[in-house]
Amino acid sequence: MTLRIAVLASGRGSNLAALIDARRAGRLPVEFTLVASDKADAAALRHAEAHGIPTLALDPKSFATRREFDEALFANVAESGAQLVVLAGYMRIIDAAVTAVWTGRMINIHPSLLPKYRGLHTHRRVLEAGDPEHGASVHFVSAELDGGPVIAQARIDVRAGDTEDTLAERLLPREHRLLVACVDAIARGVVREGGGRVLFQGRAIPAPLQLDPTGHLTPA
Ligand code: GRF
């Protein structure tokens, strides 16, 4: 069983690269139907092209409204045959009319321990708050920014002397493993969305799954 996925990315594309690497190593049962971006110069698009994955760049400025842009983008996503959409560093808010259509079939990776620090500058906000730990979350996408049900999280300690850059650098490899583990769990039918909750092996989870040191998801 292979899950057909489309990936949306606005930038560097290291999370996309992690998915591609896992697929190539035989560790992720997916097929990439499309990599799409709102930025024509996104490195993620070049990376997809290098691996023979169909790509699409759409410029939001060519559309009158957010909804028209999102409808055009997701018409392409649907046409690609994708069963799951993965937002991997996709930096645009998606119109509620579109998120409603993809409920339970779209996930996002966000660099914080949600519900803490939705939105931007998460590393800075963790440092300003003096938090002892930081992390990343993968969640099903809802109309609310970074607000849908959280599937799983990866955690790191905040150390004395940490800066935004050191936190980002230490978290990124954990993000990659977390995203791969979540896509894998969805592809294998272990995780799905139901009634606004995350179901793990068919049961609603009371708290996000946690990424263990071996890269597996375990109940909290
Ligand atoms: C990651 O930190 C991700 O959590 C956030 O944007 C960054 C994207 O990095 N949403 P990349 O483009 O996947 O390298």
Q: pLDDT tens string for the chain (220 positions)?
A: 799 999 999 999 999 999 999 999 999 999 999 999 999 999 999 999 999 999 999 999 999 999 999 999 999 999 999 999 999 999 999 999 999 999 999 999 999 999 999 999 999 999 999 999 999 999 999 999 999 999 999 999 999 999 999 999 999 999 999 999 999 999 999 999 999 999 999 999 999 999 999 999 999 9
Ligand 1 atom at minimum distance from 17 CA? 13
Q: Is 110 in the pocket of ligand 1 (CB under 6 A)?
A: yes
For ligand 1, atom 1, the nearest C-alpha belongs to: 89
Ligand 1 atom at minimum distance from 15 CA? 13
Number of independent structural domains in the chain: 1
Ligand 1 atom at minimum distance from 108 CA? 10
Residue whose C-alpha is closest to residue 186's, from 123, 138, 220, 127: 138
How high is the pLDDT of residue 15?
A: 98
Q: Is 15 in the pocket of ligand 1 (CB under 6 A)?
A: yes
How high is the pLDDT of residue 82?
A: 98
How high is the pLDDT of residue 1?
A: 79
Task: Classify 130 in phi/psi space as left (phi over 0), alpha (psi -120 to 50) or beta.
Answer: left
CA distance to 2, 20, 32, 195, per residue, from 77 (Å): 17, 18, 11, 24
114 three-state secondary structure: coil
Residue range of the domain that includes 152: 3-218
The residue with tokens 């708290």 is 207
If you measure from the C-alpha of residue 109 to the centroid of ligand 1, how many angstroms do you get, rounded to a whole number? 7
CA distance to 43, 76, 93, 188, per residue, from 57 (Å): 12, 11, 16, 30
Q: Is 135 in the pocket of ligand 1 (CB under 6 A)?
A: no
Q: Is 148 in the pocket of ligand 1 (CB under 6 A)?
A: no
If you measure from the C-alpha of residue 160 to the centroid of ligand 1, how many angstroms do you get, rounded to a whole number? 24
The CATH number given to whatever domain includes residue 72 is 3.40.50.170
Active site residue 216: no
If you measure from the C-alpha of residue 147 to the centroid of ligand 1, how many angstroms do you get, rounded to a whole number? 17
HSE-up (13 A, CA, CB side) for residue 27: 13
How high is the pLDDT of residue 62?
A: 98
Q: Is 174 in the pocket of ligand 1 (CB under 6 A)?
A: no
